[in-house]
Amino acid sequence: MTAVYLNQVAMVNALGCCLADIWHNLKLGCSPGMMKYITPVSQKEFHAGVVSAELPLIPDEFSDFNCRNNRLALAAIQQIESAIKDGIERYGAARVGVVIGTSTSGISEAEVAIKSHIERGVIPADYTYKKQEIGAISDFIAQYLKVEGPAYVVSTACSSSGKVFASARGLIDLDICDLVIVGGVDSLCDLTLNGFDSLEAVSNVLTNPFSVNRKGINIGEAAALFLMSKEKSSVQLLGVGESSDAHHMSAPEPSGSGAKQAMQAALKDANINKEKVDYINLHGTGTSLNDSMESHAVYDIFADQVQTSSTKPLTGHTLGAAGATEAGICWLILKHSSEQIIAPHVYDGCYDPSLSPIKLSDTSKSVLPVQVTMSNSFAFGGNNVSVILGKCLDA
């Protein structure tokens, strides 16, 4: 398998709208965007991870793509646009691909349009199905950047933008692309917030993963985009492991067998032993079933010998963007490894004794410089993925 590297990253989420702010707030364990949020259609209140900064406007020539999801993507693109243009010039537009994970696309705008039709019998003049079509995000990015390589979406619920790393690497390994814009984008909408609420999986206060007092998830919105290529840089994609246990439509397999299989596959793909992993970013949703099965799966492989944390109390569960967002947090930890910092686990400190005793991060103690990280994402239908990133010491 071809060695590939994550040369650049851009992120927008509840922690902040640039890498400097995200890293600063991550270290503090403080997220300004975790707040009360009222849905635009049903007017229900939730505790959610909100990007509160003003987002860039979609240019008029791309008005059919004008939705919040694409504006989140554009906010991330603008952070690394010069590097993208350099890559296009270097490799040619036909050798640059786009692989994005999402679950919402522009459904929020569709909800507003449907509400207008129900209440007034009129669909807004600026509404088009292109805003909500699941592949809209990859089409928008490709057209905006004028790239001509493969451009498509992976949509497997909460594992979507973890799985894109395997897909993007495949494009490079098969010599279809030299550079791939890869990541995930999801925006808040009534569908996901009310959907998870109907499953009784939502907490109306800050999510509390792995606590005996946990009550569920907080949904969030985010964009995280990477530039992947064979050009050596300081962070390498070491391995990706995928599994599909198909245990249940929404509930994870209780013992964590599918999650364990994904982690083991990632270790095998990376050709490393479990002892090499310094930090695991847990899926850690704060639901009863997820935290239980993930603790069992992690403990079965790593026991209590690796530092772990869930960063969802700082970003919310960003669904289709979660895998890329949390890989982005791992990327930042590796880039700043000399600071000897890992992501804090923000919760009430009351670890659930019925869970396997994994080692949650304790940021009051110093840690060795992180060289290898793992990020877990688990989704409806048993779609599981683990992504391993490593510090490239000879870059």
Exactly one of 177, 317, 330, 345 is catalytic; name it: 317
Closest CA relative to residue 214, chosen from 325, 89, 360: 360
Question: Do 370 and 388 form a contact (C-beta atoms < 8 A)?
Answer: no
List 283, 296, 330, 345, catalytic entry: 283
Q: Beta strand 383-391 with 96-101: parallel, antiparallel or unpaired? A: unpaired
Q: Are 232 and 4 in contact (CB under 8 A)?
A: no
Return d(Cα 158, Cα 101) in angstroms, integer. Answer: 9
Q: CB–CB of 112/75 below 8 Å?
A: no
H or E element: which one contains 33?
none
**247 annotated active-site:** no
Q: Measured over all CA atoms, what is the biggest interatomic distance in the chain, rounded to whole angstroms?
A: 63
Residues 345 and 297 sit within 8 Å (Cβ to Cβ): no
Residue 20 C-alpha from the chain's centroid:
18
Cα–Cα dist 358/303, whole Å:
6
CB–CB of 217/286 below 8 Å?
Answer: yes
Exposure string of 251-268, with b = 16+ CB inside 10 Å and e = fewer, is ebbeebbbbbbbbbbbbe
Contact 302, 277 (CB under 8 A): yes
Check the CA dihedral 378-387-368-15 and report its sign: negative
Cβ 281 vs Cβ 310: under 8 Å: yes
Active-site option among 158, 177, 189, 330: 158
Burial of 54 (0-12, 13-18, 19+ CB in 10 A): exposed
**Which amino acid, residue 39?**
T
* Residues with active-site annotation: 158, 283, 317
